[in-house]
Chain A
């Protein structure tokens, strides 16, 4: 699934490891989500959205629209 995670992360000057620690996941998970190789579960998607203070659809692009 396409997403804006890399941009949002870069805006805050966070590395993938920084974001991973904030989300309590591995750096590999962040990399896989950013590159669209893995679609996070709904709880993790909410966690990401809450961390960036955005709505889920502002971060993740709907497959039907993307």
Chain B
């Protein structure tokens, strides 16, 4: 079955945002290493790598809006909610563990990594389940 047009658009947008992320991450690191910015500029440069990641959330949101298959869309929304629940639970628990001095400090951006990982695991688990349903 050919890839739906909305998935092609999603793949293209994701590629663009991840490429921008790579450029922003390397660029910001090099900037701070070789000519550390100061004042307001430092804040702007430091937040640069976060912008494409925010873009990825927009890309995912647009995919949800554009998906024409309502069942697949419903599943994707469900997976996103599960990923959100996992992320909020883990970061909340980690916050308390950190507060009591039991674990090291975790940078906030790991929340995005955790969310993407949770979404990935949900999508893969669902693909396996659908595969077995199709064979049943």
Contact = CB atoms under 8 A, between A and B. Distances in A.
A61 interface: no
A28 B72 contact: yes
Interface string B60-97: 00000000111110100000000000000000000000
B134 A29 contact: no
Contacts of A27: 1, 134
Interface residues of B, number: 10
Contacts of A35: 133
A8 interface: no
B130 interface: yes
State which size class the interface on A falls in: 10 to 19
B71 A38 contact: yes
A25 B133 CA distance: 17
Nearest to A26: B69
A24 interface: yes
B68 A28 contact: no
B77 to A, nearest CB: 13
A33 to B, nearest CB: 8
Contacts of A26: 1, 69, 71-72
25 contacts: A17-B1, A24-B68, A25-B69, A25-B70, A25-B71, A26-B69, A26-B71, A26-B72, A27-B134, A28-B71, A28-B133, A28-B134, A29-B69, A29-B70, A29-B71, A29-B72, A31-B130, A31-B133, A31-B134, A32-B71, A35-B133, A38-B71, A38-B74, A40-B70, A44-B70
5 closest Cβ contacts across the A-B interface?
Answer: A29-B71, A26-B69, A25-B69, A38-B71, A28-B130
Interface of B: 1, 68-72, 74, 130, 133-134
Interface of A: 17, 24-29, 31-33, 35, 38, 40-41, 44
